[in-house]
Structure 1
Amino acid sequence: MKDLLKFFILCQVILLLFSAQFVLSQEINLDAGEQVFSQTCSACHANGRNVLAQDKTLDLDMLESMGLDNVNAIIKQVTYGKNAMPAFGDVLSDDDIKNVANYVLSKSKAGW
């Protein structure tokens, strides 16, 4: 039983190390995110605003109220769209979506 517990703990440590390495390998490129935003998003979201739904800006407090105050939620929104927001999953690469999501979150935290 003691050996089984040691084996389980060892497996958890190995899994944790590989997970940390995977996260570190996912490089964030805010410059690339800014470029994607300028080319793809700024027509509707210039300076964090929203042309179609003016009350739904990209300001941090608004993102928080919509549950979009984290990168994964923004990635999902950009990929699949929702309401007036079109889906970009077939238009942008996964890296482009990840980078633009990080860019939007960083700009919203900085107050645009």
Structure 2
Amino acid sequence: MLIVLFALWQLIVIPPALAAETVNAAKIFNANCASCHIGGGNVLIPQKTLKKEALSKYLDNYNSDSIEAIIYQVKNGKNAMPAFKNKLTTEEILQVAAYIFQKAEQGW
């Protein structure tokens, strides 16, 4: 939990780190997630997008619209979504989860 909060703090509070981390996170997202979630959407199940309202409704771990829930989903997958815990490093998962959280907050 502390690592998650620190990673999120770095992405939100430190502008130079934000720029560098966002670029890397965007690359990770585009390489691994965008085929199903382009622009925050969902090509398989249209209502289960990465938009804030959908995250609040469909993520069922922790506080449903929290970064922890996003990390859990990325790591473990669910239904049609594959697990990425064996494909991405812990740092990459944190970065992409923070990216998704940030983009959802911004409305994609």
Q: Give the TM-score normalised by the residue count of structure 1.
A: 0.74
Partners of 2:90 and 2:55 lie apart in 1 by: 21
Query: 1:56 and 1:95, CA in 2 relative to 1: closer, same or farther beyond 3 A?
Result: same
- 2:81 corresponding residue in structure 1: 85
Alignment RMSD: 1.8
SS in 1 for 2:88: coil
Query: Could you list the runs of 4 or more consecutive aligned residues of structure 1 that deviate by over 6 angstroms after TM superposition?
Result: none
Total equivalences in the alignment = 91
Partners of 1:23 and 1:47 lie apart in 2 by: 25
Larger radius of gyration: 1
Query: 1:44 and 1:109, CA in 2 relative to 1: closer, same or farther beyond 3 A?
Result: same
Is the counterpart of residue 63 in structure 1 residue 55 in structure 2? yes
Q: 1:50 aligns with which of 38, 42, 56?
A: 42
Runs of 5+ consecutive residues of structure 2 not aligned to the other structure? 12-20
Please state how far the C-alpha of 1:23 moved relative to its aligned partner: 5.1
Runs of 5+ consecutive residues of structure 1 not aligned to the other structure? 1-18
Please state how far the C-alpha of 1:70 moved relative to its aligned partner: 1.1
